[in-house]
Every structure is written in structure tokens, then in C-alpha cells.
Amino acid sequence: MINKYSNIKLSRDAKEHMYIQLFYAIKEMIEKEILKSNEKLPPIRKLADLLDVNNVTVVKAYDLLEKNKYVYKRVGSGTFVLPQQNFDREIENFEKFEDEIYEDLRLMDRGQIQISDDMINFASATPTPQLFPIDDFKNVLNEVLDRDKGFAFGYQDSKGFYPLRESIVEYLKFYKITTSTDNIQIISGAQQGIDVVAKVLLNYGDTIIVESPTYTGAIASFKTRGTKIVEVPIKKDGIDLEKLELYIKEYKPKAIYTMPNFQNPTGYSHSLIKKKKLLEIAKKNNLIIIEDDYLSDLNFYTDDNFTLKSMDNDENVIYIKSFSKIFMPGLRLGFLVVPLRFKNEIIAAKHTSDISTSSLIQRAFDLYLRKGIWKKHIKYMKKVYKERFDVMIEKLEELPNEISYEKPKGGINFWIDLPNKISVNEFYRDAIKEKIVFVPGSIFYPSKTNSNSLRLSIASVYPEEIKRGMDIFNNLLKKYLDIDKKKYYFENREFYRPIL
């Protein structure tokens, strides 16, 4: 049966090694059942002669086939086709990402992966360095250094620099949150805030409710506590309250983690009614609400962007605020508003985490707030983001009818649902070839569910790029809407990555 193999074409000029080309060729013959289960593969020398390659090439290809469970070997008698699982399962695997890729996507979300300059980056939810108020901040840094000298580098109170806590209490008045310096805990960014709160509220075996989908960093933090994570779907007007109440009864969770305004990744907001109801439910069930105020500041088309904290009469909300998204992520600065009954435990957990947040950065940011530069900057950022937001909305209106999305009223994220027949992950890999990148939805689910959605973010793209990028996105999508999946799979076999 050696002639079955004579169709194999190997190229010495291809970017892939010959043995990998051979691996793919035999793999495909097995998948298409040209080679049957338990069929013997040709002896090494014979196949090498036929294909005019070195013996070693065949040896290595056979080894790789064995490692990837396409063949098995019997000492002294040769190499045989390993009976294969259902082909559909294979396609399913192909559509799922390896853990490594999940990790890459998470990093991309945080702007931590350098994307080549010719790519249009809808993946990063982090503003580009060009938007940072460098000169202003350099000035306050130097002013602080001259004013405070060595004290700018000493240990800071774990709770945070007192004047900064004062400034934040002032700042919060603008957002209708009435609180005191005693309630403010300075943190090294929102991620640390989540981690510190988790340390206080969640012990091994406890349950927390999260919106589904939600922020990947929160999921990771809750997982390190050995916490059971229960997902409640987020709908276009906010969290599914019926399911929430049901799960509260069933799982007796300690807390719920929520982003009530312009949620990440969906951009959805809880309606005012839902917000009030959520506070009631929390009160009734002794549930702590962890409110991650991701971006409530960017309310382009709504005045309903109240935070839960501003309505929290019963002190059940722990409020987390970072300045990363509209200021400078590399500063690692944010704050919590904490009900007084948790105050001491929160300080202790912060102390355990990193003792205190950089004294210099706290002092500089305090001055930045006090001088009113912050207000100027946020006004500027809102203008920049609104322009991008409007361009994005315009382009989304050109999407094919089959595509569904909810028009958010603010924020920087857009959540697109693709029809079931399209695999988002395949679409993702193809989009990259076309020089655009976004984040496939599946990474935002604690259970890594296969999701048919994706997130587009406008934090790192200029209006011109949004136009160009969304044209590419639209064209690719139109092509995809009538693609044959199985055919596509074989035409794109290089997507399969063997274990090397």
C-alpha cells in the first residue's frame, strides 16, 4: 500500500521542517481515513526512498505522530495507525485554545503583549502611552520630591497617605459618593484591590458569584483562594436577577463581584432598577457586593451611570476604583471604599500583600488631584474616547444583519455575538492574518465555555484605525458567513499545532 503515500508533497523551501510537513500529511491521511485504524505504516527506509528524503526525516515524523496520538509502535514489528476518536470531537479541539493561548489573550487584554505596528489592536483595553499626561505628572513628581525629600521614599501607612485619602473623599463627592478618609484604602491598582478583598471575604470552600462573562483577573484571584465561582449571566440590562436569587439560595455565596456600569467585557450596564434590586437582594441575604467601578466615568450617552456605592445605604458595597483605564496603568494606583466593619481586616490584608503602595506615587497623585489637573485630564480623555466611541458605533451599524450586538452607552468595550455556525476562535486566527486583533469571548468565562462572542475595545486604536479595522472585520465576517467548516479545516491545517 506504499502508493497511498506517493501523493505526499514535501518542499525543501517551505518554512516548516520536512518532518513536520510529513507529520501533517500522514495526520491528514489518518483523519480522512485514507489510512485505517491499526493499518501498518511503511518501513522507514522504504518511505524515505519513496519521498526522496533522509531516513531521519521519517523517523522524526513517526515520533511526532506517536507523541500526538496518531500512531502507536510495537517493538520489532513497526508503526501502526492508532484508532482515532470521532472526527467532530477533533474539530471541537481544534476550535479550543490551548492554555498558553488563553494566557496570551489575557495579557493582550492588559496591553502586555507587544503587537506589531502594522496590526490594528482592538484587543487591548489599555490606553496608549501617547494619551498619558507625562509633562504634568513629571512636574508634580518633582514638586513632591523637593517638598517631601526622603519621606517620599519611606514606608507609607498601609492604609495610604492621609492627604491622598482626603483628596479622594473630595473627588468622590463629584460622583455622589459620600464617605470619609477612614473608609478609604489605597491600593496598588484594581487587581490588587480584588485580591485584597478576596483575602478578607473568601476562604477555602466559600462561594462567590460573578457575572458571566467577566474580568479574567478577578476570576484568577478568586481561584487562588480555593473559592467556588458561580456564574450568573449578564443580560443587556444587567445581571440576571432571577438566576441570582436562585443561586443565592442554592450556594449561599459570601459575595458577588460586579461591574454595574459599562461592564468588561460586554459594555452592558445594569439598569437603575436592577441596581436598586441588587442592593436589596444583598441586604436581604447578607451578601457583600464587590463593585468594580471599571469605567463609570465614561458615560457618553446616559446619566444613569450611578455606582452602587452611591446608593449603598446599608454599607454592603466594597467599592474598587482604579485610575488605570483613564490615567496611567503603569502607576499601579487605585482605592477602595470599605464599610467600616471591614476596615481593619482590609488594612491587614493590604499589609500582607505588599505592606503599602509606593509613597512617591501616592504623594504625586495627591498633588495632581489637588491642583485640579485630574479634572482637566479626565475631560480630555472623555473627548478622545467619545470620538472613538462614535466612530465605532458608526462602523458597527454596517455589520451584516446576522450579527447581533448591544449598543453600549459609554465605556470602551463592544461585545459582538456571532452566529453559531462561525467559530470565534477560527475567526480570531484569520483576523490576525488580516492584521486586526480582538479578544475572543471564551477567555471571559470562569469555566472557559466555548463562547460565540468577541470583544472589541477602542482603548488602543485611533479613529482612523477603527474605520480601517472595522472594514477588514466586516469583510472577513461576510466571507465567513457562508464558509464550509469542514472544508475550511483541511485548508487551514497549519493551525493545528503538534506537541513538539
- Would you tell me which residues interact with its own copies (CB under 8 A)? 103, 106-107, 110-112, 126, 128-132, 134, 137-138, 141-142, 145, 149-158, 188-189, 191-192, 195, 199, 203-205, 217, 220-221, 224, 226, 324, 328-332, 348-349, 351-361
Smaller CB distance to its own copies: residue 43 or 129? 129
Tell me the DSSP string of 68-98.
Answer: TTSEEEETTTEEEEPPPP-HHHHHHHHHSPP
Smaller CB distance to its own copies: residue 199 or 275? 199
Grid cell of 81 as nine digits: 495507525
Smaller CB distance to its own copies: residue 98 or 494? 98
Residue 252 CB, shortest distance to its own copies, in Å, is: 19
Alpha-carbon distance of 4 to 27, in angstroms, equals 13
Grid cell of 358 as nine digits: 509606593
Beta strands in 98-227 (DSSP E): 120-121, 184-187, 207-212
Smaller CB distance to its own copies: residue 365 or 405? 365
Smaller CB distance to its own copies: residue 76 or 205? 205
- Coil/strand/helix, residue 308: coil
Residue 16 CB, shortest distance to its own copies, in Å, is: 26
Residue 134 CB, shortest distance to its own copies, in Å, is: 5
Residue 149 CB, shortest distance to its own copies, in Å, is: 5
- Residue from 241, 290, 295, 225 nearest 265 by CA: 295
Alpha helices, DSSP H, located in 331-423: 343-354, 359-370, 373-396
Alpha-carbon distance of 328 to 322, in angstroms, equals 10
Smaller CB distance to its own copies: residue 378 or 393? 378
Residue 447 is given by DSSP the state: T
- Burial profile 250-266: b = 16 or more Cβ within 10 angstroms, e = fewer: eeebbbbbbbbbbbbbb
Residue 42 is given by DSSP the state: P
The answer to whether the CB of 65 falls within 8 A of the CB of 84 is no
Residue 474 CB, shortest distance to its own copies, in Å, is: 30
Residue 386 CB, shortest distance to its own copies, in Å, is: 21
Residue 292 CB, shortest distance to its own copies, in Å, is: 14
Residue 158 CB, shortest distance to its own copies, in Å, is: 7
What's the half-sphere exposure (Cβ side, CA atoms, 13 Å) at 447? Answer: 12
Gyration radius (Cα) of the chain, Å: 27
Residue 34 CB, shortest distance to its own copies, in Å, is: 39
Smaller CB distance to its own copies: residue 239 or 360? 360
Residue 24 CB, shortest distance to its own copies, in Å, is: 28
The reply to whether omega before 213 is within 30° of 0 (cis) is yes
Smaller CB distance to its own copies: residue 155 or 397? 155
Residue 188 is given by DSSP the state: S
Residues whose CB falls within 8 Å of the CB of residue 400, separated by 6 or more in sequence, listed in order = 474, 477, 478, 481
Smaller CB distance to its own copies: residue 22 or 201? 201
Smaller CB distance to its own copies: residue 178 or 224? 224
- Residue from 244, 236, 234 nearest 211 by CA: 234
Please enumerate, as own/partner, the contacts of 464-469 that have beta carbons within 8 Å and a separation of 24 or more. Answer: 465/120, 466/388, 466/391, 466/392, 466/395, 467/391, 467/395, 468/120, 469/120, 469/122, 469/436
> Could you give the maximum distance between any two Cα atoms of the chain, in Å?
85
Smaller CB distance to its own copies: residue 279 or 336? 336
Residue 258 CB, shortest distance to its own copies, in Å, is: 19
The answer to whether the CB of 90 falls within 8 A of the CB of 33 is no
